[in-house]
Structure 1
Amino acid sequence: MSTEQKKANQTAKELFAGCVGGIVQVLTGQPFDTVKVRLQTQPDQYKNMVDCVKKTINNEGFRGFYKGALTPLIGIGACVSIQFSVLEATKRHFIKQNASRNQQNPSQLSYTQMFLSGSASGVANGILSGPIEHVRSRLQIQARSNTPGSYAGPIDFFKRVYSQHGIPGIYKGQLITFVREFGGYGIYFMTYEALMARQMRIQQTNKRSDVAGWMQCVFGACSGYALWTVMYPVDAIKSKIQTDSFVASERKYKGILDCVRKVFATDGVMGFYRGFVTTMLRAGPVNGFTFMAYEATMRMIE
């Protein structure tokens, strides 16, 4: 097998394993995400996380937590595939760069290299995650899909928004999405890769598969906690902008800075942290299982 064929084969494996990780991520995290988005965008309707859960079950049943899940189930699988494949490709670039500098252990990346590898994966991911999260957020805040003006589902959303507002409407809130993805995934993957590298040094191994699955799960959980601890306020602003009116004259916020000013003036710092507890409860299991599923799939197809 030629070098190019080996590279293509490795990329295909990373894409497939990432897809598996993405599906696991959506199935485990969608209920938490629905509660988070509702608390972020509809603060007057819910007192807290428990109240949101109760009202959702009473009004919509358990299926209410999975509103808008079809799009991310398909799309997040693609997103996570892109995340991991771009991450690994960027890591290989830095390893090659280290080798050209005669570094003693080229595969030992610096924290900066780990961060930039994660950031590259986040920016690539943002091209898909922007519209996917936009439609999911819009559907999540709908109490019922049969009320006037509501979207029947993701296809109806894309058709109507594209016909009325074009591509800019689909990509509403894209700038703040890129900000979150660049910083968030830089922190996310740097945390995971640093913990994995440390454990591999302790075990004196060069094989990631030698690290126990439960440890990979714990490292993934830590990565999720790190990401959301730092980036949650940015995500809150993103949700507010994405669910704001499409019509300029009817919008609550003129832009990112205006949104920050108004949220702070109305609710103070805590206005940026509505739904934070729900997100942190979600962060551990969802990201832990995502990394464990990815690493397990890579072991099986190696």
Structure 2
Amino acid sequence: MLNPSPLSCDSSPQSVGAPAALAVKAEYTTPSEVDRWRKTFDRFATRDSIGGVSYLTEPDFVSAVAPESDFAKISRQQYGILFNVADRRRSGRVVWEDFVAFQELLKSPAADYDIAFRVFDQNHDGQVKFDEFKAVFQSMRAPDAIPFDFDSPWVKLYLGKADGGHVLGFNEFTQLIKGLQGERLRQAFRHFDQNQDGYIDKREFKRIIYELARHKLSDAVLENLDKLAEVVPGGKISYSECIAFHNVIREMDLVEKVVRESCARSPDGKITALDFTNHAARTMRYGTFSPMEVAIIFHYARLGATGEDKPRLGLRDFGSLLDAKWGPPRTQQKEKGKGKATGTAMHEVGKSAYYFGLGGIAGALGATAVYPIDLTKTRMQNQRSKVVGEVLYKNSLDCVKKVYKNEGFTGFYRGLPPQLIGVAPEKAIKLTVNDLVREYATDKETGRIKLPWELAAGGLAGGCQVIFTNPLEIVKIRLQMQGENAKVTGAPRQSAAQIVKSLGLIGLYRGAAACLARDVPFSAIYFPAHAHLKKDIFHDGRDGKVLSYGEALAAAAIAGMPAAYLTTPADVIKTRLQSEARKGETHYKGIGDAFRKILAEEGAAALFKGGPARVLRSSPQFGVTLVAYENLKKHFPFPEPNQSLMETVLPREEEMARVRARNALKVLLDVDTNFGNTPAAKK
């Protein structure tokens, strides 16, 4: 049986400002929760050099309770107000007992409002009086803030007059906080509507929203606030428009739910304003969105849409309106060996197959883009010296000229179909194996992986792909060489099927050892280089950065350069083993025999024949493939079935305390977005 913690914020004799009317108490604390809190506390705590007691300073406490890397809309300084709530002794330190009491507080279903109540309850008597509300509210505000009238009828309805009236308990206080933004909007509009004609200009509206709700809006919407005047012609903004805009902000979660569900129901994944309104009418029992609110939703969605003024918008177009860059709770991932996968099994299989197909298309585009270079590389690598064979090409440029002259433009794409067939399984296996090994070897706490494991992951990925690539490459090489052989020996052309039949199963794996010797080190070099280029050079993921297409292309291309050139000797040997030697040319028995004979007959330089062409082929091929894949995923996303809000936002249990800590700051930011940034508010 679980027992209540003796260190609960409500039960501790040193507890301050405990809500007197909180209907739902926090759940019991389990030993595993205490162990988890202890690990978090010890990770960030400092030990007193005199007394030996561990404690958290304000920066340490913020690191322990705030969601990681979530300071886009809430600054670290503002999270410091939670430190004042946890520091029950007002000593400037949070010791272990204080930390447990604060974690107990966060377990309360009303933790966000509970913390706000404690901030306003200055004398810690479990009530908020008029003077307390006014003093705390004023301390939060910047000197140039829009004035607020504390003698307004709305304030008096909740708190009475300054010299009397009634006080607010916890439950009453929560309703005051929920309605405060609406009253601030009304007063701010009246403040700017000096001639009382019912309109304010765009700059004044922008200032109001910046003070009231900039923490709830994306940067794209904030930059275009003044464009609300375009919804209703006239150039100015009415109070009705202000209220409609505020209602959209307040109901943003519901807006997103209706958008997601109506887009999922649409055959093409896109909706009009009528589709949105109809779905809202079907799913909402009593409320609905007004025509002006719907117009505002679609107005800002179209501002974020690419291209011309679209009549129908997809979920991606609504992104700039819906995404305020809060860094929301991560979607629950299926953990190794446990957890539930989202969606049905058939849905997951279909989704995997769909993106596997997109990967194949992207790989085919990359292979096609560089295939003429690959053909040139193959013919240059297979060309023997004057001693052992006829020299047809002086250099790569001469090879290109003669291929075009003798075989035409289509000669550059001889052997392409087998290559395209092999791209999909090759890319899928390579990427999947690399990701699986990296995931297994990554330290779960630090998120880092050691270099030997990075090399092993890449090497295993390259080795596993050979089962598919070797048969297809030997057919590709034979087809690529046919134009040259026909000119020299008059040999008849063969189809891919005839080549496969003549080689047989064992023949299809001729040169497999050389293929392994090329692909294992290639992938072992490429994947770590690509990962470190993205992270260390282009700073992917740092401060929420997402690489542009140009940066992604550059990272993929640069990583391929050393990998391609350093593995050229193995590629030369593989090409010689897999191509048919003409009469009078040297035959090779295996890797070692080929290596010795090439060195003896042609010199070490022959091992790097076609090296530049290989670099020119491999680097852009990987870049084109990755960029094509990202674009395909972006413009042709897998059509998701209807999802409930619970399916889209399911935080892991161990993150809930950090989520509730952030939500507590959201409540206080609704009072004033400057909260916690002024010295008075921190006292």
Q: Specify whether residues 17 and 113 from structure 1 end up closer, same or farther in structure 2 by C-alpha distance, changes over 3 A only.
A: farther
What SS is found at the alignment partner of 1:141? helix
Q: Does 1:211 align with 2:211?
A: no
1 CA distance for matches of 2:601 and 2:614? 22
Which sections of structure 2, spanning at least 5 residues, go unmatched? 1-333, 335-339, 385-390, 639-683
Q: Does 1:252 align with 2:587?
A: yes
TM superposition shift of 1:40: 0.7
Find the partner of 1:109 among 419, 426, 449. 449
Q: Does 1:286 align with 2:626?
A: no
Partner of 2:476: 136
2 CA distance for matches of 1:272 and 1:111? 29
TM superposition shift of 1:201: 4.5
Find the partner of 1:62 among 372, 391, 409. 409
| Higher RCO (CA < 8 A, seq sep 6+) | 1
Q: Does 1:25 align with 2:363?
A: no
Whether the 8 Å CA contact 1:24–1:293 is kept in 2: the answer is: yes
Deviations 1:166-189 (CA, angstroms, capped at 9, x unpaired): x21111101111121111111111
2:628 is matched by which residue type in structure 1? A
Range with bigger deviation, 192-201 or 145-154 = 145-154
Range with bigger deviation, 20-29 or 231-240 = 20-29
2 CA distance for matches of 1:7 and 1:122? 26
Query: Could you tell me the TM-score, scaled by structure 2's length?
Result: 0.39
What SS is found at the alignment partner of 2:463? helix
Whether the 8 Å CA contact 1:176–1:238 is kept in 2: the answer is: yes
Q: Does 1:179 align with 2:520?
A: no
2 CA distance for matches of 1:232 and 1:70? 24
Partner of 1:242: 578
- Compute the RMSD of aligned alpha carbons: 2.7
Whether the 8 Å CA contact 1:22–1:81 is kept in 2: the answer is: no
Find the partner of 2:527 among 175, 189, 193. 189
2 CA distance for matches of 1:94 and 1:193? 15
2:516 is matched by which residue type in structure 1? F
Give the count of matched residue pairs.
286
Q: Specify whether residues 7 and 93 from structure 1 end up closer, same or farther in structure 2 by C-alpha distance, changes over 3 A only.
A: farther
Q: Specify whether residues 61 and 110 from structure 1 end up closer, same or farther in structure 2 by C-alpha distance, changes over 3 A only.
A: same
Whether the 8 Å CA contact 1:14–1:81 is kept in 2: the answer is: no
TM superposition shift of 1:294: 2.9
The residue correspondences of 1:215-226 to structure 2 (distance < 5 A) are 215-226=551-562
Partner of 1:269: 604
2:381 is matched by which residue type in structure 1? Q
Partner of 1:74: 421
2 CA distance for matches of 1:109 and 1:16? 30
2 CA distance for matches of 1:200 and 1:85? 24
Deviations 1:105-142 (CA, angstroms, capped at 9, x unpaired): 22x32322222222222112111110111011111111
Deviations 1:247-288 (CA, angstroms, capped at 9, x unpaired): xxx961121111111111122111112222222222332221
Taking only the aligned residue pairs, the percentage that are identical comes to 27
What SS is found at the alignment partner of 1:45? coil
Deviations 1:183-218 (CA, angstroms, capped at 9, x unpaired): 1111111111111222575652567xx111111100
Whether the 8 Å CA contact 2:422–2:468 is kept in 1: the answer is: yes
Q: Specify whether residues 182 and 284 from structure 1 end up closer, same or farther in structure 2 by C-alpha distance, changes over 3 A only.
A: closer
Q: Does 1:34 align with 2:375?
A: yes
Q: Does 1:233 align with 2:569?
A: yes
What SS is found at the alignment partner of 1:65? helix
1 CA distance for matches of 2:562 and 2:434? 18
1 CA distance for matches of 2:600 and 2:462? 31
2:437 is matched by which residue type in structure 1? T
TM superposition shift of 1:9: 7.0
2 CA distance for matches of 1:80 and 1:288? 13
Whether the 8 Å CA contact 1:14–1:84 is kept in 2: the answer is: no
1 CA distance for matches of 2:454 and 2:485? 43
1 CA distance for matches of 2:393 and 2:568? 19
Partner of 2:171: none
Query: Could you tell me the TM-score, scaled by structure 1's length?
Result: 0.84
TM superposition shift of 1:224: 1.4
Whether the 8 Å CA contact 1:200–1:206 is kept in 2: the answer is: no
TM superposition shift of 1:26: 1.3
Deviations 1:232-255 (CA, angstroms, capped at 9, x unpaired): 111011100111459xxx961121
Q: Specify whether residues 93 and 191 from structure 1 end up closer, same or farther in structure 2 by C-alpha distance, changes over 3 A only.
A: same
